[in-house]
Amino acid sequence: MRIRRCAVLMLEPREEARFALDDLLAGGNGLRRTLRCLALAGHLDAPVEVDAAERELLGLASPTEWLDPDGLPEVLAAAVPRLVAEGLLLEEAPSDPAASDADARLRELCWWTPSAVAHRHGRWQGVDGAGESERAGLLTIEGLESRFGPPPPHVAQTGTGPGAPRQPLPRTPDADFDRLLARRATCRNFDTARPLDQARFATMLQRVFGARAHVDAGTGATFLKKGSPSGGGLHSTGAYLLVRNVEDVAPGLYHYHPVEHALEPLPAPEAPLDELALLALSGQHWFADAPVLAALVPRFARSYWKYRHHPKAYRALVLDAGHLSQTLYLSATELGLGAFVTSAINEVDIERAFGLDPLEESPLAVCGFGWRARRMETAEFDPAGEVWEVARVPTDPE
């Protein structure tokens, strides 16, 4: 049996501190610190704690050349079975090919190692982020300042100093576009009873995700023109939809086809749509009420086909998600709808619901849109009163 190391691997020394009464009584600070070393692989969902011998073996093993463990020192050879079982070392002829297959796909996708590790291990599953923030008192400015102190200044302080001269620039009168920007605000209050009409739903998808034109390069490669910029002009990010309340569209999960401007129905999820929406959004119930959710999901192979092992490729995909979300906001605002975007999502649960392989497709953010509610039950940031007549949470019952 020959072995080699997985392709994408980083080691993290992680210090953990816990209360120790005996240390405190002995005059110490009451903390006992433990240093652990974690191996984070791009094809594995969870980090693996490794000891000194295992670290040495991982450093010795090549990700490309096969190694015969019989020639290893005894202490290193003893570490082989566990590292194979964990998927950090791969066998040439494995009895269980799951880890080897995942590693092979990751090699083909040409991820840059730090991006692959950061993306894979930054994904959430089953996290109630909203509930945790509420329990920690971090949903209000007062709570944040009480816990973390005042935020950094709202404007960057340059090296010229606060008294340095500034050159005023002319302010131009508001045009229609300026007034549209003024009305753009994150919606946290959706009307759950009012269905979204199919015409606005279709317009939103066409404007935000649809292809306005496509070009065949003559080699079998096709390139799309859309309403938002994209790294390399590749438009790798697509939309997977959770639809609950749209006229003439059956509730369910869909993939949007940007060229055909059509919905592709996907298998029904195990959980009810309402529960899935709340889970996908990490407990953010103020967003989960939206009649349409759109997961922004890049196809990594499309981007990394051009940007192979590139340190900026993943950053470009993150920018793509930002471009799409702003186009969605402006389109929704122009149509009289509310919209939101959030990256506080449970990626693993979304992947499972839509049948996505996280090595190839994985959500970076979730957007949503629909009719605004008549009343602001959850606070929204609208200081100029462009959306709500009074920018506060109403307290008077109807």
| pTM score, whole prediction | 0.91
- With tokens 């329990």, the residue in question is 135
Share of the chain above pLDDT 70, in %: 97
Exposed/middle/buried for residue 349 (C-beta within 10 Å: 0-12, 13-18, 19+):
buried
pLDDT at 345 over 70: yes
Which of 130-139, 152-161, 201-210, 306-315 is the least confident region? 152-161
Largest CA distance in the chain: 79
H or E stretch including 344? none
DSSP string computed for 211-237: -SEEEE-SSS-EEEE-SS--GGG---E
Nearest CA to 281 out of 294, 271, 263, 270 is that of 294
pLDDT at 398: 38
- Reported as a single tens digit per residue, the pLDDT across 66-119 is 999 999 999 999 999 999 999 999 999 999 999 999 999 999 999 999 999 999
What local confidence, expressed as pLDDT, does residue 15 receive? 87
Where in the chain are all domains bearing CATH 3.40.109.10? 110-145+176-398
Contact 243, 259 (CB under 8 A): no
* Cα(355)–Cα(343) distance, integer angstroms: 20
Distance CA 264, CA 13 (A): 45
Please tell me the total number of residues recorded for the chain in this structure. 398
The CATH code that applies to domain 110-145+176-398 is 3.40.109.10
> 390 falls in which pLDDT band (50, 70, 90)?
low
* Alpha helices per DSSP H over 262-305: 273-280, 285-288, 300-304
Distance CA 166, CA 286 (A): 42
What is the Cα–Cα distance from 188 to 339, expressed in whole angstroms? 8
pLDDT value of residue 392: 46
Task: Return the pLDDT at 292.
Answer: 98
Per the prediction, the chain carries an average pLDDT of 93
Which of 125, 122, 120 shows the shortest CA–CA distance to 8? 120
Tokens representing 92? 């040439």
Handedness of CA 65, 70, 72, 76 (dihedral sign): positive
Closest CA to 130 of 286, 259, 239: 286
pLDDT band at 159 (very low <50, low <70, confident <90, very high): confident
Q: Do 334 and 180 meet the contact criterion of CB atoms below 8 Å apart?
A: yes
Q: Indicate whether 313 pLDDT > 90.
A: yes
Alpha-carbon span 32 to 38, nearest angstrom? 19
- Measured in degrees and rounded to the nearest 5, phi and psi for residue 334 equal -65, -30
Confidence at residue 46, expressed as pLDDT on a 0 to 100 scale: 96
Residues with Cβ within 8 Å of 183's Cβ and at least 6 positions away in sequence, in order, are 333, 386, 387
At 149, give phi and psi (nearest 5°): 80, 180
Q: How far are the Cα atoms of 97, 122, 245 from residue 345, in angstroms, in the given order?
A: 30, 11, 21
- Does the pLDDT value for residue 356 go beyond 70? yes
> Is 396 a residue whose pLDDT tops 50?
no
Predicted confidence (pLDDT) at residue 397 exceeds the cutoff of 50: no
**CB of 320 within 8 A of CB of 298?**
yes
CB 260 within 8 A of CB 327: no
Average pLDDT (227-241) is 96
Given pLDDT bands bounded at 50, 70 and 90, which one contains residue 23? Answer: confident
In the prediction, which pLDDT does 22 show? Answer: 78
